[in-house]
Amino acid sequence: MGGPADHELMARVARGDGQAFSLLSRRHVRAALSLARRIGGNDAVAEEIVQEAFLRVWIHAPRWRPDAAFRTWLYRIVVNLCLNERRRAPVLPLAAAGDPADPAPGPDTELAAQERDRVVATAIDALPARQRAAIVLTYQDGLSNAEAADVLDTSVSGVETLLVRAKRTLRAALAAYA
């Protein structure tokens, strides 16, 4: 990652520097969108959530303290907005099913893998919101359990419990398919 570090940019954002804010949002928007899409399960809502999250970053920047990484704070805002959104208006997971299987003839193993992925994706979307968030933060964003705990505002053992429960459900779904 080139350019100034996140905390330097945040110090400038706290002084009202719009250019630093633009740089910061360009740096993190893709990861934030990806996270919001997986947890929210809806592309259009994910865009709104990420926009709202960045606006909150701008508004609260003067109060931000670099106790934790900026990314962790941003993810926490995104996750909380997603959970609030899901609580308010549960949406049908349109993207959950993933892309339809390629109808062109292909190796059986590849088709089977695609089908397994579809089953797992559907099962992820059916998980309770916090379990889904733990899975996405850990696998998609590669966060450690401690970082995921910061984002989800829980303890490391709390994240481990969420992951164990989520994997148990996913394993059962996969076993049922097999």
The size of the interface with another protein (CB under 8 A), counted in residues, is 44
Burial zone of 96 (CB within 10 Å; 0-12 exposed, 13-18 middle, 19+ buried):
middle
Who contacts 177 (Cβ-Cβ below 8 Å, separation ≥6)? 115, 116, 119
CB under 8 A: which stretch of 57-65, 82-90, 100-108, 154-162 binds another protein? 57-65
DSSP 8-state code for residue 97:
G
Contact predicate 158/152, CB 8 Å = yes
Residue in 3, 18, 106, 128 binding another protein, rule: CB under 8 A: 18
* Minimum distance of another protein from residue 53's CB (angstroms): 10
Alpha carbons 10 and 17: distance in angstroms, whole number: 9
Site for another protein in 121-140 (CB under 8 A): 121, 124, 135-136, 139-140
* Contact code string over 70-89 relative to another protein, x by CB under 8 A: --------------------
Q: For the chain, what is the largest distance between any 2 Cα atoms, rounded to a whole number of angstroms? A: 58
* Minimum distance of another protein from residue 111's CB (angstroms): 14
Q: Does 106 bind another protein (CB under 8 A)?
A: no
Residue in 3, 5, 8, 60 binding another protein, rule: CB under 8 A: 60
Contact predicate 139/39, CB 8 Å = no
Q: Does 23 bind another protein (CB under 8 A)?
A: no
User: What is the four-CA torsion angle of 80, 86, 88, 90, rounded to 10 degrees?
Assistant: 180
Q: How far is CA 15 from CA 67, 155, 166, in A?
A: 18, 33, 42
Alpha carbons 165 and 136: distance in angstroms, whole number: 14
Q: Does 156 bind another protein (CB under 8 A)?
A: no
Residue in 11, 12, 29, 160 binding another protein, rule: CB under 8 A: 29
Give residues in contact with another protein (CB under 8 A).
14, 16, 18, 21-22, 25-26, 29-30, 33-34, 37-38, 43, 46-47, 50-51, 54-55, 58-63, 98, 113, 116-117, 119-121, 124, 135-136, 139-140, 167, 170-171, 174-175, 178
